[in-house]
Amino acid sequence: MIGEITLRARAKINLTMDVLARRSDGYHDVDTVMHSVGLCDDVRVRAAPGARIRVYSDKRYIPSDMRNTAARAADAFLRRNGIADTAVTVTITKRIPAGAGLGGGSADAAAALFALNELSGRGLSVGELADIGAEVGSDVPFCVYGGAARATGRGDVLQTLPTLPPCEIVIVKPAFSVSTAEAYAALGGTKTTRRPDTEGLVAALDSGNLAEVARRVYNVFEDALPLRSRREIDAIKSRLLDFGAYGASMSGSGSAVFALYGCGGGARAAYDALRREYGDCFLAVER
């Protein structure tokens, strides 16, 4: 297998995020609605004779070894397809911030799977790639499919949903990041006072009603944040709502916050204001 290909890896947001019982395999059952957004990494995959998988990135904090989700995805693809004597180099240009709940690592892994599928000529289906991705991480199957889906089980059981109606999304990541493992541990010691109305949100997506979708965005991980972090998340949400957002919530296990706006609403003004305060601030347009 020889060649090189570059693909875009799209981030995701969690319109709802609910965590249920702990499973016997150590994961938790979840019930979440995920949606792809236009914030992307660039993932270049090169295959050549050899036997090593390496990852390079323009960000120093990205692991270059098998701790990297894209590296594990490449290894899983090669093993599943019986491909030997192949060196894989993955080069990631990062735009999706880490520790943000935006699925950057999972998106990079999904892009690596698509690239290797094309370079190898194996012609695996999207479902087969998602099955390989499930070995690597709970969010990888969704990132393989993209679009919008309700995810249950440990996040790998997907029900395809209609995507958001035309809208604009502002995403803001505060200075602090969140470890997913630490977030789940903190949630286990927290009494959850509210659950998202996932059924209502799914119905709103079915009807294409953006305001009703936004009214139901909610994330139980917000209850488990340390007080200082919770206050900052609440402050960001308040600022976004002040610019006319229909709704705002934290994504995944945190720490990024997203807000949904109608097209031509206050999203641009919110983005222009908050990007002066936060280095990681993004505007995505969904059509």
Distance (Å, rounded) from C-alpha 84 to C-alpha 75?
Answer: 10
Strand blocks (E) in 220-261: 247-250, 257-261
> Could you tell me whether strands 53-57 and 86-93 are parallel, antiparallel, or unpaired per DSSP bridges?
parallel
Q: Distance of alpha carbon 190 from its chain centroid, rounded?
A: 24
Q: Identify whether the C-beta of residue 174 lies closer than 8 Å to the C-beta of residue 232.
A: yes
Q: Which of 12, 41, 108, 173 does the annotation list as catalytic?
A: 12
Is residue 139 among the annotated active site residues? yes
Is residue 223 among the annotated active site residues? no
> Could you tell me whether strands 280-286 and 86-93 are parallel, antiparallel, or unpaired per DSSP bridges?
unpaired
Q: Which of 139, 156, 173, 237 does the annotation list as catalytic?
A: 139
Distance (Å, rounded) from C-alpha 271 to C-alpha 49?
Answer: 46
> Across the chain, which distance is largest between two alpha carbons, in Å?
57
Annotated catalytic residues are 12, 139
